[in-house]
Amino acid sequence: MMKVVRVLVVVVFFFMSLAVFAQKAPTAEASVDYSMVMYNPAKNYTGTRYLNGGGGAIVYNFGKYLGLKGEFQGYASTTATFTVPAGRVIPPGIYKTQANMFTYLFGPQINFRIRRGKIFAETLFGGAHSNGYANLYRAAGYGTGSAQNNGFAMAMGGGFDYHLTDSFDVRVAEVDYFLTRYSVVVLGTNNQSNFRYVGGIVYRFGGK
């Protein structure tokens, strides 16, 4: 128990010493980025696959520690193979399709500003749109109903921005648990518990 207490004391004093040299908070931060999602559906018609894309975000800061973030990302996949079992409305079989995904997320970001950058944590909520189901319908020759789908999306995680110049940071890594949830009449609700990486450039303005 005493060892744990000593470790906690050391950690607290370490972060207190970093805070002495902390940056002042900019009014806002805008970023452009590359993003990779390891897409992992619960209903395993396609199996795990990787989506590559990018986008950007803007954070408005309410003081040094709290910001409000809005983020927009777009992804494209390589050819996805859907294996649909018997018992579904879509005829059983193996179908190869293309898919893309667009996400829009909003929520709080907690910032801890240190001398050479910023550590942050975030919880974001919003939506995701994909044409993957529409392409599956077409590949299967199933034309009833709408397969264009908007679903719920959520990202929880954090990252580190390295202070490059007075105005620019490099987002070394942002890693998130990224949930998407699509509901399609003939397949039912399908959750995807994904891993997401984001890296890019951040421009800081105001409040200097």
The first and second tokens of residue 33, run together, are: 């980025």
**12 is a domain residue:** no
Length of the chain: 208
Least confident of 28-42, 43-57, 129-143: 129-143
- Read off the pTM: 0.78
pLDDT, residue 130, reads: 84
- Identify the three-state secondary structure at position 143: coil
Residue partners of 3: CB distance under 8 A and separation at least 6: none
pLDDT in tens, 19-38: 444 457 899 999 999 999 99
**3 is a domain residue:** no
**175 is a domain residue:** yes
Average pLDDT taken over every residue of the chain: 82
Q: Is 38 exposed, middle or buried (0-12, 13-18, 19+ CB in 10 A)?
A: middle
Nearest to 47 by CA among 79, 81, 97: 81
Average pLDDT over residues 97-103: 87
**68 is a domain residue:** yes
Average pLDDT over residues 171-182: 94
Average pLDDT over residues 119-136: 89
**88 is a domain residue:** yes
pLDDT, residue 147, reads: 54
Average pLDDT over residues 39-59: 82
**81 is a domain residue:** yes
> How many domains would you assign to the chain?
1
pLDDT, residue 46, reads: 65
**16 is a domain residue:** no
Nearest to 89 by CA among 142, 134, 42: 142
Query: Which CATH number goes with the domain that contains 143?
Result: 2.40.160.20
Q: Give residue 154's pLDDT band: very low, low, confident or very high (50, 70, 90).
A: very high
Are 103 and 137 a contacting pair, CB within 8 Å? Answer: no
Calculate what percentage of the chain has a pLDDT beyond 70. 77
Taking the C-alpha atoms of residue 98 and residue 53, their distance in angstroms, rounded to an integer, is 14
**8 is a domain residue:** no
Task: Give the structural domain span for 71.
Answer: 24-205
The first and second tokens of residue 9, run together, are: 């004391």
Query: What one-character DSSP code corresponds to residue 135?
Result: H
Q: Give residue 6's pLDDT band: very low, low, confident or very high (50, 70, 90).
A: low
pLDDT, residue 124, reads: 98
The letter for the amino acid at 133 is Y
Q: Residue 77, by phi and psi: left (phi above 0), alpha (psi -120 to 50) or beta? A: beta
